[in-house]
Amino acid sequence: MVETAKLKFTTLNVFDEQREAQLNVIASASESMNDVEGFPRLWSTANFTLNLPSPDFIPQFVNYYEDIQESLPWPLKYDSWEGLSFLPTRFFLVPTSGDGNCLCNAMSLSLWRANDSNKMLRNTLGNALAKNNEAVHERFMHNTKLPWGIAEEEWQLDLNSILVDPGFYLSDTHIFMLANFLHRPIVVFGGKGSTPVISGIYLPLLCPPESCFPVPIPMVYFHAHFITVGFLQYAIRSFYALPLCSANKQPLKLHFLTAEEERKLQEIGQKAFLGRWMCLIEEGTVSFAVMSPPSLPLPALQQANTRYQQLQEEIRRNL
């Protein structure tokens, strides 16, 4: 179980306190957001993707990786995809803080390797939702299965929870807003004990496709908790692929479509529809989204390389 699969050494806990300084830089960047057709985006930080170099030289991480395999949803397990024409991607889970802000914590870990402990992402997302609530409200009401009166109450709860109550859990409405705020697709996989309502694909439908980064951000949701998903990066790999299917290899649901978008989906099919937002590979009946390594500007790449060398030295001292 993911609750008992803990990191067995402290040096990889760069996902928390040791990266808070980096988040301060990101927080200052949020003050100078650019608009794309009126919708804000963190241009300099939204294209990062959590991955780690091959951990074979770290026995403790290999043990941790093996421990969490049973906790991964079936589509993310390496052994689920024997016989592919390409090498399956090795995904892993990152322990994510469960303080009522787990969605933003999971997203912050995916992008910047640090929890959203100062609520920077949550607060900025709340402000974006307040400014764009009419467009999201229309999609929410079209997609809900609740009676109109109850649905309207649920919408007000979603709107107020992120703005008023910093400890209140976030929902699928906020995932959709995050996808648009970051200009990137988000894919949520359901684990044991999770509700199927949350799992699926959240496209940045409020943004022009050409303005978006075509690499989805994966996360797992079970036991009412969002958990970060990363992948292991090997030198021999030319690309990494994320399966866009459920445990029975059925296509994942697309959330928050309008009636017109639903008709378009039926007309051209899910592969063509998704192809506007991400690069796809077809393997039988299953679509895979290409997960390219993050494209970092040279100064950030040099900084990351320096930090990685420091981590290697810390790991050697602790082995």
Mean of pLDDT over the chain: 75
DSSP element (H, E) containing 226? strand 225-233
Burial 284-309 (b: 16+ CB within 10 A, else e): eebbbbebeebeeeeeeeeeeeeeee
Q: What is the pLDDT of residue 16?
A: 39
pTM recorded for the entire structure: 0.78
> Percent of the chain, pLDDT > 70?
66
Mean pLDDT, range 76-101, rounded to an integer? 86
Q: What is the pLDDT of residue 232?
A: 79
* Identity of the amino acid at 253: K
At residue 256 the predicted structure's pLDDT band, cuts being 50, 70 and 90, is very high
User: For residue 155, how many other CB atoms are within 10 A of its CB?
Assistant: 18
Rg for the chain (alpha carbons), in Å? 19
* Identity of the amino acid at 1: M
**SS3 (DSSP) at 230:** strand
Give helix 102-112 / helix 20-29 axis angle, nearest 10°.
100
Q: What is the pLDDT of residue 31?
A: 39
State how far the alpha carbon of 75 is from the alpha carbons of 81, 89, 247, 267, in Å.
8, 11, 6, 27
- How many Å apart are CA 220 and CA 226, to the nearest integer? 6
- CA atoms within 13 Å, Cβ hemisphere of 209: 9
Structure-model confidence comparison of residues 182 and 166, the more confident one: 182
Structure-model confidence comparison of residues 303 and 124, the more confident one: 124
DSSP element (H, E) containing 122? helix 120-131
Whether 57 has a pLDDT exceeding 80, the answer reads no
Q: What is the DSSP letter of 254?
A: B
Whether 34 has a pLDDT exceeding 80, the answer reads no
